[in-house]
Amino acid sequence: MKEATRSAVNKVIWPTSMKIALSGVPPPEFSAKVNGRIAPVGTFQTNLGALEYFYRLAGPLELNDTTTARCVGVTERWMVCEPGKRQVAFEVLFHFVNPLLQQIGSPVGATWNISAMGVFVFDREGRICSYDWDLRRLGLVVEAAWAPLYQLVGGEAVFNEQLVQFTCQAAAAFCTGANSQYNNQADCEKFLRSLPVGNYDSADQDNLICRSLHAALVPLRPAVHCAHIGPSGGGKTSVAMSSTTSRTTVLLALLLATALAGLQQAAASADPTAPVDAAHMRVQPQSEWQDRASGYFPDNLGALEYFYRLAGPLDINDTTSARCVGVKERWMVCEQGKRQVAFEMLFQYVNPVLQQINSPVGATYNFSALGVFVFDRAGRICSYDYDLRRLGLVTDSALAPMVQLICGPKKIC
């Protein structure tokens, strides 16, 4: 299964990926009934969907193309396979290069990496039948990669207009007859310009980025993908509230107000004459954590705080702050001898305020955590790396009723 995983992933390297995409034949590593999702790109129910999203987006469709970015290498960061589970968890880095930026000698470079972390599930014949993985921080990576292109073409607005033209040209060339989406080029341009631009962290939302991504897939199967670049989105664009500076400010203010209220409650209930107990001010590490446990945090106290402090209020009497009330294991893979455990967990949260007012959208939500723990020889966690999947979208949805509650139906704050 590991070798099948490596083989499937290494075929993302261009031009192998191009040949697979044009062939319309899924590689032998995939089951005919494969399904799964790649966040934040989308969910796919067929092996042709897997074929297109794995391989079509890895580079141009023409061998003579000298301007389009393409994947030129893959580096395996880690891989875990537990016997008997038919699952392989992994993280790989896809190395991309943009020939155009190479040609002009871009001062910020012409290469970048996209990290993919997730799991393949295999059937009894040893073929991939399901998958679920994240392209980590994809929005930030793509923004950094596109920044020199903005400068090259005359600014971000000009670049976004090129995305509009690219998408409308694809619609005109391939989406005809029963697959037609727009009356003419002008209608297409007008509609796309009316959308929020979005970014690649919201590539499955109702925005321009989503439609320009699908425009690259239209030549492969117009009957499937034309609807995805049209006004309806064809089920591939989810309507989500777009973040704005004013809205973000409101949400931050709410969070800060809640945190300050919790601290004020804790301070008011404390005995000022009592001796300071360092364990209350900074809780000591649990036995599961090695003294030098690290991730993006330099010490185990950082690990402690980011794992546990942000899971709820600091006051047991707090009846307003959201808190974690349960954990559900989605999957876990542990390979003997590697001292690594890969996993995905759902942290289940509840907001008491929304419970009290019987919020019509509910008072609960889930954070999905996908990643890996590494253990030392004593069996303690010494390193970790995980993502809170689609955190921005989850938090926006969770806080939206709070914004309405405080700011009113028109969200005027």
* High-pLDDT (> 70) share of the chain, %: 83
- H helix or E strand, kind and range, residue 80: strand 70-81
The sign of the torsion formed by the CA atoms of 6, 12, 13, 17 equals positive
Confidence category of residue 256, pLDDT binned at 50, 70, 90: very low
* Pairing mode of beta strands 289-294, 128-135: unpaired
d(CA 5, CA 393): 30
d(CA 227, CA 236): 9
Q: Where are the beta strands (DSSP E) in 295-362?
A: 323-334, 340-350
Give the pLDDT mean for 137-156: 88
d(CA 332, CA 191): 44
- H helix or E strand, kind and range, residue 228: helix 222-229
pLDDT at 232 over 50: yes
List the domains of the chain with CATH numbers: 1-152 (3.10.450.50), 154-240 (no CATH), 245-265+278-407 (3.10.450)
Question: For the chain, what is the mean pLDDT?
Answer: 82
Mind listing the pLDDT tens digit for each residue in 344-356?
999 999 989 888 8
pLDDT at 278 over 60: no
**What pLDDT score was predicted for residue 73?**
98
Lowest mean pLDDT among 78-92, 161-175, 268-282, 328-342: 268-282
* High-pLDDT (> 90) share of the chain, %: 47
Give the pLDDT mean for 76-93: 94
Give the pLDDT mean for 99-114: 84
CA Rg value for the chain: 24
- DSSP structure string for 100-156: HHHHTT-TT-SEEEEEEEEEEEE-TTS-EEEEEEEETTHHHHHHHHHHHHHHHHTSH
Q: Which two tokens stand for residue 329?
A: 């294991």
pLDDT at 384 over 90: no
pLDDT at 28 over 70: yes
**What pLDDT score was predicted for residue 126?**
94
Confidence category of residue 260, pLDDT binned at 50, 70, 90: very low
User: pLDDT: is 360 or 396 the higher one?
Assistant: 396
Mind listing the pLDDT tens digit for each residue in 32-56?
889 888 888 888 888 788 778 889 8
Mind listing the pLDDT tens digit for each residue in 113-125?
999 999 999 999 9
